[in-house]
């Protein structure tokens, strides 16, 4: 990912640090890259996984590109509607929510995709024989970290194969119509054979459903985190889908629409997270860069062990030394250990790449720290798209019971 250092520094001068910065041209480039890879498929739709980045300005831009959105909560549905997405361009795939939340989604007329037999039965009892999609658990271990592996049979996600016949029985009894199958095995899938196994598995299951109109292949496409890093082979990915679809059509004579749910793939490389060095600290055998942020703003390295390329943009060409990069949270919030970084000084700007996905959207107010501002670069101009929080934002919904007579 190319970083526009001048624009980053300009944004920091205007809006301070820490700061999330997104380049919309990179989002558009990734979207077009995916469309190009899918050009051999006759009928497909792209739905951005909104959980990766929920800023309304970003969502409106993605809407403008022609994508829909995939949501996992009723609140994400609301954000999508507020961002201008039509109901039929919003997928709702909840996990473990109450039937009352599903009922709200149904009333909003968005596309329902359920991931348990129990919720399918409740939905059928509430709304009768309507058409829905269901998420299948393929029992495939795929993903870069145990916390993002969601396709094993012991995962809370999806309907396991042992329950497929129960689904078919519900359909035969006219209690529900299954018009779509959904599969998502994990995030940052490094091995193409893991994606292939998922594709083959969902097509074999698809043969059992007589009213099927669509297959949703989910997300999980891996991007590069550094030069030379592995990434999903999109051409091979599409080739496998086409081959399996050809075999499916020969057996069933049925035509399908294919859905794809890129999240990180669309926005990860568009974003950087910029911080400032508070202190440089040395122990017996380590040098620490202590920055003005913590896992409250970028939790992925702590939660997933994820790698982010880290650049000292105040000293790009400087001699490199080995540092641990740590935060200001009262926990072990280490972003990187033994990382070679250009010689650092107090006040230098430390930039984290691949910060467009699951960074702000997973941020918190831990230690009563405020959330940073978000800006985007669009048409060579810097735009503020979310204000930095203040202490008033943290306190505004609290009720002080001791400020009145009890």
For residue 151, the model assigns a pLDDT of: 45
For residue 141, the model assigns a pLDDT of: 55
Same-fold call for 24-267 versus 268-395:
no
For residue 403, the model assigns a pLDDT of: 84
Domains in the chain: boundaries: 24-267, 268-395
24-267 topology per CATH:
TIM Barrel (3.20.20)
CA distance 31 to 88: 20
CA distance 272 to 155: 32
Name residue 159's beta-bridge partners: 136
**CB within 8 Å of 42: residues ≥ 6 apart:** none
For residue 145, the model assigns a pLDDT of: 45
The β-bridge relationship of strands 373-378 and 334-342 is unpaired
Token pair, residue 118, equals 């129990």
Q: What is the pLDDT along the chain (406 residues), one digit of tens a residue?
A: 577 899 999 999 999 999 999 999 999 999 999 999 999 898 999 999 999 999 999 999 999 999 999 999 999 999 999 999 999 999 999 999 999 999 999 999 999 999 999 999 999 999 999 999 999 988 775 445 454 444 455 667 789 888 999 999 999 999 999 999 999 876 665 656 778 888 999 999 999 999 999 999 999 888 998 888 888 889 999 999 999 999 999 999 999 999 999 999 999 999 999 999 999 999 988 999 999 999 999 999 998 888 999 999 999 999 999 999 999 999 989 999 999 999 999 999 999 999 999 999 999 999 999 999 999 999 999 999 999 999 999 999 999 999 876 6
CA distance 252 to 262: 28
Contacts made by residues 7-13, CB under 8 angstroms, sequence distance 24+? 7/377, 7/382, 8/272, 8/274, 8/313, 8/349, 8/351, 9/313, 9/349, 10/382, 11/274, 11/375, 11/377, 11/382, 12/274, 12/349
User: Which homologous superfamily does the CATH classification assign to the domain defined by 268-395?
Assistant: Lyase, Ornithine Decarboxylase; Chain A, domain 1 (2.40.37.10)
The model's pTM is: 0.93
309 with 269: CB under 8 angstroms? no
CA distance 406 to 388: 36
For residue 304, the model assigns a pLDDT of: 85
């Amino acid at each position: 990912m190319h970083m526009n250092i001048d624009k980053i520094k300009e944004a920091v001068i205007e809006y301070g640090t820490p700061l999330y910065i997104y380049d919309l041209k990179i989002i558009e480039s990734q979207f077009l890259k995916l469309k190009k890879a899918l050009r051999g498929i006759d009928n497909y739709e792209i739905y951005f996984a909104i959980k990766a980045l929920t800023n309304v300005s970003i969502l409106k831009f993605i809407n403008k590109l022609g994508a829909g959105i995939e949501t996992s909560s009723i609140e994400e549905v609301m954000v999508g509607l507020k961002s201008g997405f039509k109901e039929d361009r919003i997928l709702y795939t909840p996990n473990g929510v109450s039937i009352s939340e599903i009922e709200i989604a149904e009333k909003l007329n968005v596309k329902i995709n359920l991931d348990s037999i129990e919720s399918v039965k409740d939905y059928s009892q509430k709304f009768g024989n309507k058409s829905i999609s269901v998420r299948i658990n393929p029992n495939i271990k795929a993903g870069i970290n145990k916390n993002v592996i969601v396709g094993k049979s012991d995962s809370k996600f999806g309907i396991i194969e042992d329950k497929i016949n129960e689904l078919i029985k519900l359909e035969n009894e006219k209690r529900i119509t299954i018009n779509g199958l959904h599969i998502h095995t994990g995030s940052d899938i490094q091995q193409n054979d893991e994606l292939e196994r998922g594709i083959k598995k969902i097509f074999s299951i698809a043969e059992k459903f007589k009213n099927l109109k669509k297959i949703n292949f989910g997300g999980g496409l891996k991007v590069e985190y550094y030069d030379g890093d592995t990434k999903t082979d999109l051409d091979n990915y599409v080739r496998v889908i086409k081959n399996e679809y050809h075999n499916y059509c020969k057996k069933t004579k049925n035509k399908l629409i294919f859905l794809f749910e890129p999240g990180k793939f669309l926005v990860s490389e568009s974003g950087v997270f910029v911080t400032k060095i508070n202190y440089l600290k040395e122990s017996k055998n380590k040098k620490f860069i202590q920055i003005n942020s913590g896992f409250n703003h970028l939790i992925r390295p702590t939660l997933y062990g994820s790698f982010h390329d880290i650049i000292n943009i105040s000293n790009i060409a400087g001699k490199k030394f080995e540092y641990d990069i740590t935060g200001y949270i009262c926990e072990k919030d280490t972003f990187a250990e033994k990382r070679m970084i250009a010689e650092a000084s107090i006040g230098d700007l430390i930039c984290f790449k691949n910060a467009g996905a699951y960074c702000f959207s997973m941020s918190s107010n831990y230690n009563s720290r405020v959330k940073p501002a978000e800006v985007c670069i669009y048409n060579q101009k810097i735009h503020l798209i979310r204000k930095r929080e203040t202490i008033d934002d943290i306190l505004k919904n609290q009720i002080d019971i001791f400020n009145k007579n009890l």
